[in-house]
Amino acid sequence: MAIAIGAGVLVLIILYFIGIYNGLVRARNEAKNGWSQIDVQLKRRHDLIPNLVETVKGYAAHEKETLDAVIQARSGAVAANTPGEASAAEGILGAALGKLFALAEAYPDLKANQNFLSLQEELSATENRIGFARQAYNDAATRYNNKREVFPANLISGGFEEAELFEVEIAAEREVPKVEF
């Protein structure tokens, strides 16, 4: 009888740790899915930028420095692979796009161009999607990190790497925009 109880307790302990392991796997996969959702929106953003730059080129060809900065920032963002790399690169790209839109203010014909307005609206909608995807990913990554770090899961979570959060890394992205009339 004692052997049966001992075996039953051992089976329950094994099942408990299997449940912990499976929970970690599910949480890790949820975080990976969250990152892939961000990646989809970032690709959409990256695909819109060349069209936007080409539209601006027609009106502000002599503003080559700003246009080159946007193109270079886009290239860096496309090359990013991890959430940490992407957050840094996307911060730089966001700052470059801010300069591009500020440049557009100096060209009334450009601001009235339907193609530019459409691209600007698409980019704005994409930025909102990125924000929602970023929050969903960070929530999933935090849940996963919490699961892997709490006791007793931390006893078996050695093979589970910590998920990076997608954070704003550049001071220009954190600054409140200055509005002047």
Query: Distance between CA atoms of 168 and 47, rounded to whole angstroms?
Result: 21
Does residue 179 form part of some domain? no
Angle, to 10 degrees, between the axis of helix 2-59 and the axis of helix 114-149? 160
Tell me, yes or no, if the pTM score tops 0.75.
no
Which residue range(s) make up the domain with 63? 2-173
Which residues of the chain have a pLDDT value below 50?
A: 171-174, 176-181
Does residue 13 form part of some domain? yes
Does residue 85 form part of some domain? yes
pLDDT tens for each residue of 44-56: 888 888 888 877 7
pLDDT of residue 10: 92
Does residue 149 form part of some domain? yes
pLDDT of residue 176: 47
pLDDT tens for each residue of 7-21: 899 999 999 988 988
Does residue 181 form part of some domain? no
pLDDT of residue 169: 59
Number of alpha carbons in the 13 Å side-chain half-sphere of residue 8: 5
| Sign of the alpha-carbon dihedral angle for 79, 80, 86, 91 | negative
pLDDT tens for each residue of 89-101: 888 888 888 888 8
Tokens read off for 48: 């819109």
Query: Distance between CA atoms of 48 and 42, rounded to whole angstroms?
Result: 10
Does residue 180 form part of some domain? no
CATH number of the domain where residue 118 is located? 1.20.1440.20
- Total structural domains within the chain: 1
